[in-house]
Amino acid sequence: MRTKTLLIAAVLGAVGIATASAQVTSVNAVGYVNKSLDAGLSLVANPLSNGGNKVSEVIPSAPIGTTIFLFDASTGFSVTQFVGVWSDDLELPVGTGFYLQLPEAATITFVGEVAQGDASNKNVPAGLSIQGSNVPQAGTLTELGFPAAVGDVAYLFNGTAFDPTTFLGVWAPTEPALDIAGAVFVDKAAAGDWDRNFTIN
């Protein structure tokens, strides 16, 4: 576990994560999420579906120099930077977590549709991944229906380092919680289905 904690910590370096408030507006399941973020590195997730869920569709505009680091346990990080357009139009499926580095405090606007039915469900792989809810809601992982199993670990950032919390039937020492469009590093002992079967009606 120490190796995985160090791996995650190395990703952040000396840069802190800070997330502020998020505002959701949705009409007929189509809308946007405004997420206010401080300068530096934040851990966020795509809360809405738009087209092919390319970064240019999901986050059409950002401050010049904004950088996204998309993690894959088998290949490492893919990187794209906003220079008026995104340098690499990475795919950000709904609920996919990633690092977003801002050169200055800004409000990032996600645009798209609220996932419903089967589209609000996903598989959480075994091992390390960055996870967010497929539905733009805030709550604890339990409230959001995360498929926790004994031995799963979530890594929570406390401002200077990561604090691991382990699922032992309940989360200990603390229950992980997500803001709207928030994300968390998780290390699952085995893959699990995060089924919401969400509906607006």
In a domain, 23, yes or no: yes
Domain termination residue (choose one: 113, 135, 150): 113
Domains: count for the chain? 2
Q: Residue 75: what residue type?
A: T
In a domain, 85, yes or no: yes
Q: Same structural domain for residues 109 and 122?
A: no
Count of C-beta atoms within a 10 Å radius of residue 132: 24
In a domain, 190, yes or no: yes
Consecutive 10-residue runs of the chain (201 residues): their mean pLDDT? 42 38 55 91 93 94 97 94 97 94 95 92 96 96 96 81 91 94 95 93 70
Domain termination residue (choose one: 113, 142, 165): 113
Residue written as token pair 């576990």 = 1
In a domain, 10, yes or no: no
Contact predicate 53/94, CB 8 Å: yes
Q: Same structural domain for residues 43 and 107?
A: yes
pTM score of the predicted model: 0.83
In a domain, 200, yes or no: no
Q: Same structural domain for residues 82 and 109?
A: yes
Q: Same structural domain for residues 138 and 161?
A: yes
Q: Same structural domain for residues 96 and 122?
A: no
| Domain harbouring 32, CATH code | 2.60.120
Q: Print the domain residue range for 185.
A: 118-194
What is the tens place of the pLDDT at every residue in 18-70?
334 455 544 447 888 999 999 988 899 999 999 999 999 999 999 999 999 99
In a domain, 136, yes or no: yes
Domain termination residue (choose one: 113, 138, 155): 113
Q: Same structural domain for residues 65 and 148?
A: no
- Rounded to whole angstroms, the Cα distance separating 149 from 151 reads 6
User: Quick one: which of 126, 129, 128 has its CA closest to 190?
Assistant: 126
